[in-house]
Amino acid sequence: MKFAFSTLGVPGTPVLDTVRLATDHGYDGVELRAHPEEAVHPGIGPGERAAVAEEFAGAGVAILAVAGYARVAAPGDDGPVLEELAGLTRLAEELGAPFVRVFPGGGDEQSPEDADATAARRLGAAAPDAADRGVHLLLETHDSHARGADAARVLGPVGHKNVGALWDVLHPWLAGESPTATFPALSPHLGYVQVKDVASAEDTAPLPLGAGTVPLAQCVGLLGAEGWDGWLCWEYEKRWYPHAEPLEGLLGPGLEHLQRLVEAAPDSTR
């Protein structure tokens, strides 16, 4: 498996410093939070995009994904959402990132069935452009579609190889779905996996990997047992918890913890 971290854990960090964090601590890649607060987002120009891609490539660090904020199941017109997806897809292509993260965002204003249909329609409409650009759109297990079963209801009808799933291990667990149910639901669609740790369902402030109660060993064990050889990305949500311990000092031990989990996984491809 390969290992990445999300810039959500180091909010506002310049690109050069992000690259340094990855190289200093031995990470293979970085998930870039694509928000105007950050150095990389759809509003930056061609020159800036090229410079970012060059910095990462020169250091041998992959840009794993553009973590966007498009909400594909949200009520309303399709046009603005499709425009946002197109912008994120172009950014990913120009950075050399294989994945774009999107949220469901179905909300409470519509039925689950309508939210599913809306998300499937929009992802299906955006899929050909993503395929042309060599990018995969990944629906994260989050908010209205927190469980693997929820995401699968959308991804099955889309049925396109460039539309898949991002397994955020926290949210299905918080929704009461066991990893043994989440993984089979997502495995036909799985792009990569976000790992994290928290104290409990009631206290979701980020903790160092292995210090909380999220069943990370079980999740990695399931992946290893199936010979899955993709990316594990640590999403440490310091942006939302400013008093959390700084990520920089945790990156090395976090990587070591993930490597131990992978080594312990049955039939792991390592």
pLDDT of 266: 87
Section 117-139 average pLDDT: 98
pLDDT of 270: 42
Q: Provide the pLDDT confidence category of residue 232 given band limits of 50, 70 and 90.
A: very high
Using alpha carbons, select from 185, 179, 195, 178 the residue that is nearest to residue 154.
185
Whole-number average pLDDT of the chain: 97
Rounded Cα distance, 92 and 70, in Å: 14
Rounded Cα distance, 170 and 77, in Å: 30
Section 71-75 average pLDDT: 98
What is the per-residue pLDDT across 172-225, written as a single tens digit (0 to 9) for each? Answer: 999 999 999 999 999 999 999 999 999 999 999 999 999 999 999 999 999 999
DSSP symbol at 11: T
pLDDT of 267: 67
pLDDT of 186: 98
pLDDT of 116: 98
Fold of 2-264: TIM Barrel (3.20.20)
DSSP string, 69-124: EEETT-SS-HHHHHHHHHHHHHHHHHHT-SEEEEE----SSS-HHHHHHHHHHHHH
pLDDT of 132: 98
What is the per-residue pLDDT across 83-113, written as a single tens digit (0 to 9) for each? Answer: 999 999 999 999 999 999 999 999 989 999 9
Residues 6 or more apart from 234 whose CB is under 8 A from it?
3, 4, 5, 6, 9, 194, 195, 196, 209, 254, 258
Section 131-139 average pLDDT: 98
Answer yes or no: is pLDDT of 269 > 90: no
Q: Provide the pLDDT confidence category of residue 170 given band limits of 50, 70 and 90.
A: very high
Query: Structural domain boundaries of the chain?
Result: 2-264
CA angle 240, 37, 118 (to 5 degrees): 75
Work out the number of other CB atoms within 10 angstroms of the CB of residue 114: 13
User: Can you give the pTM of this predicted structure?
Assistant: 0.97
Section 140-154 average pLDDT: 98
Strand-pair partners of 71: 103
Secondary structure of 21-37 as H, E, C letters: HHHHHCCCEEEEECCCC
